[in-house]
Amino acid sequence: MKLLFDQNLSPSLVELLSDIYPESVHVQSIGLDRADDRAVWDFARLQNLVIVTKDADFLETSLIAGGPPKVVWIRRGNCSTIDVEAILRRHFDEAIQLMQGNEVALVLY
């Protein structure tokens, strides 16, 4: 399962989670850090990536348009990168189920 981390998340998550989410990328590393949501959405769809974000806009788009791509919405206010890492590790099985199932989004706290 490959993730695409949105601009509102730290680029260091790519390396921190590389053991369980290999080949994941951050929008900054692929030149999409200043792109609009549609460009990020289209890139994720074409590359079969799951968007991970703290932005509700991607969740709303997924509920209206469906997937792909699928979306993991980190719904936690101000939190550290270590907190986000722990959330994604703790919910790994749910993330895998998201990829394999018919759901288009996963909301994590």
Q: How confident is the model at residue 103 (pLDDT cuts 50, 70, 90)?
A: very high
In the chain, % of residues over pLDDT 90: 94
Looking at the structure of the chain, the number of domains it has is 1
Termini Cα distance of the chain: 20
Residue-number span of the structural domain to which 55 is assigned: 3-108
Q: How confident is the model at residue 66 (pLDDT cuts 50, 70, 90)?
A: confident
Sheet holding 71-74, edge to edge: 25-26, 3-5, 50-53, 71-74, 105-108
Q: How confident is the model at residue 98 (pLDDT cuts 50, 70, 90)?
A: very high
Q: How confident is the model at residue 67 (pLDDT cuts 50, 70, 90)?
A: confident
The answer on pLDDT for 51 being more than 90 is yes
